[in-house]
Structure 1
Amino acid sequence: MEKFQRYYLSFLLLIVYTNTIAQVNCNAVEGENCKKACEQYNWASDRQDSRESREAFDKAVGLCHDFSSSYMEKVVPYLKNEDFLTWKILIDKAVAVDPKMYLGYRDWSKFQFLWDYKEAIRDLKELKKYYSDDLGRSLNGDYHWDVVRAMPYSALGQKEKAAGFIENPLTSKGYFKGTDDHYQLGVTYFELGRYDKALENFEKQSKENNFAGNIYFKSKVSKIRNKDYLDLKKLALMTYDEGKTMKDV
């Protein structure tokens, strides 16, 4: 049943850079060499993952060390190939040039792929300096950053703090809920042994966006309370087989 318990990791690639590269307006780039770097970047963006594109990104970096987009595109293959040492060198350069743009990406990668929770928390605190009022939502729009911020704290065993981060936006006026905020909060309360609060959130999740993991944790609460849970467990498995799971396209 581990497929249901890996609830935090089902955020896979939440803010990891996508395969679609946006073209840059090179007329807005200052400096002749940086404009040329931008043109190289745009040319390479139509040929992503090819040898020619990698060479062009290298050339763009050589032309302008302050053009962060080129560092970012060099980063992606190393992350995919799990060459985290090279990835770290390049992503740090991209963040140094444009921290507001790339801190979130580096933070999630540290959490998701390196399990470096303390560094993930440090990056989030740094990101907060650029968005002091509201960190906003993840790049895919599914989650508020306060929900994302809860994950490394939970992984470090600071469940109460994690629950607080998720509760905060949920109780804020005008908050637009994510696809499974109540589920995340419910699992956190479940791990704290606060089963009433856990079930309350699982029930709320059922009304908004029910899926296999949510049903499974409802069955776990029922089992702990010595109630009939097998029907819920079977329903969870059936729902999973139907493909009703947490997804990030």
Structure 2
Amino acid sequence: MRLIITYFLFFFASKIFAQNCEAYKLEGNLKKYEACKKQKEAYKYYQFTKEYQELLDEVIQIDSTYDNAYWAKSIAYLKSGDFLSWKPLIDKAVELNPKMHLGYRGWCRYQFFRDYKGAIKDIEEFEKLIKDDIGYCQNGDYHLLIAKAICYKAIDEKDKAIKIIENYLKENDGEPDLYNYYHLGVLYFEKGDYQQALIKFNKQGENNDLASNRYYMAMCYKYLKNIHKYKQEILKAKKLSDEGYVLKDPYTHHYDKVYLSQIIKEIDISKEF
């Protein structure tokens, strides 16, 4: 499912990008038209190469107000961990075209920096600008509203986080999101509402079961003193982990991720019951 979402987002973005150059020409904005065409040449090269960066520098020389060039230059720095070089480039892109880049910067502030307050600020400003569906994060894993909810949880505003996710699910319950019910279940678990947490974890398991999901189900049953189910679920967590059903991200660790070492430790504890 994640591959489908990511492919769709990439395909959609590519189609929009392909149309933009001609749109500039039709508008009579020949500088942006030439800048757009030059930027396409950069995509022949790997993002970390000198040629890629130099071509984007040429784009900026053609039109210093062409926001996509700053955004494209910033990506290699972000992926390589050079955040000091990334920040002024993405800030310039946001300054020039906030509707295009503000939500993306907010996601990056969350994903790469764990700058929860900064991410919330960007996403909420983006909501005011768009006044409609603000869409998904860059990798397709989360709707930006879910990312905002996770950020509120991280700054210990759990009730607000629950409200955001619950409201989102009321309107988008059929959407193919990967982890919404899982994060909501963890929120209820941390508030001590184990029955409500189990409802959410079971809902998560219907479409995208995960080792982390089963781990928390086991912990719910442990605190509810249902030892049989506790032992059963913690073993399921280990099985799912062995099979690769875990929270995955190529660059960072997902929030609320449960590690194999935690599962193994809990299996050892369960043997004492």
Question: Is the TM-score greater than 0.5?
Answer: yes
Q: Deviations over 1:187-245 (max 9, x none)?
A: 11111121111111111222222121111110111122232222311210111110112
Question: Structure 1: how far apart are the matches of 2:112 and 2:87?
Answer: 12
**Other-structure match for 1:3:** none
Deviation at 1:63, TM superposition (A): 1.6
Go from structure 1 to structure 2 and tell me whether the alpha carbon gap of 1:175 and 1:225 turns closer, same or farther (over 3 Å shift).
same
1:32 aligns with 2:30: yes
Greater RCO, CA 8 A, separation 6+: 1
Whole-angstrom CA distance in 2 between matches of 1:53 and 1:240: 39
Equivalent pair of 2:162/2:187 in contact (CA under 8 Å): yes
**3-state SS of 1:231 partner:** helix
**1:42 partnered with 2:40:** yes
> How many equivalent pairs are there?
233
The answer as to 2:230 corresponding to 1:235 is no
What is the DSSP-based 3-state SS (H/G/I as helix, E as strand, rest coil) of the residue aligned with 2:81? coil
**Cα deviation, residue 172, structure 1:** 2.9
Whole-Å separation in 1 of the counterparts to 2:21 and 2:169? 41
Q: Deviations over 1:30-89 (max 9, x none)?
A: 533333222220111121322211100011112212211111111011111212122110
Distance 1:74 1:136, change over 3 A: closer
Q: Distance in 1 between matches of 2:31 and 2:219?
A: 60
The answer for the alignment partner of 2:150 in structure 1 is: 151
- Aligned pairs (5 A) from 1:133-144: 133-144=132-143
Paired with 2:136 and 2:52, the residues of 1 have a C-alpha distance of 31
In the alignment, is residue 120 of structure 1 matched against residue 119 of structure 2? yes
Unpaired runs of 5+ in structure 2? 1-5, 251-273
Residue 142 of structure 1 deviates from its aligned partner by 4.5
Deviation at 1:106, TM superposition (A): 0.4
Q: Which residue of 2 aligns with 1:10?
A: none
Over the aligned positions, Cα root-mean-square deviation in angstroms equals 2.4
Q: Deviations over 1:168-188 (max 9, x none)?
A: 022237753522221111011
Instruction: Give the TM-score, by structure 2 length.
Output: 0.77
- What letter matches 1:232 in structure 2? E
* 2:186 alignment partner in structure 1: 187
TM-score of the superposed pair, with normalisation by structure 1: 0.84
Give the conservation status (yes or no) of the 8 Å contact 2:94–2:102.
Answer: yes
Matches within 5 A, 1:27-106: 27-29=22-24, 30-49=28-47, 50-106=49-105
Q: Does the 8 A contact of 2:107 with 2:119 survive in 1? A: yes
Is the 8 Å Cα contact of residues 45 and 51 (structure 2) preserved in structure 1?
Answer: yes
Give SS of 1:244's match. coil
Return the offset for 1:158. 0.5
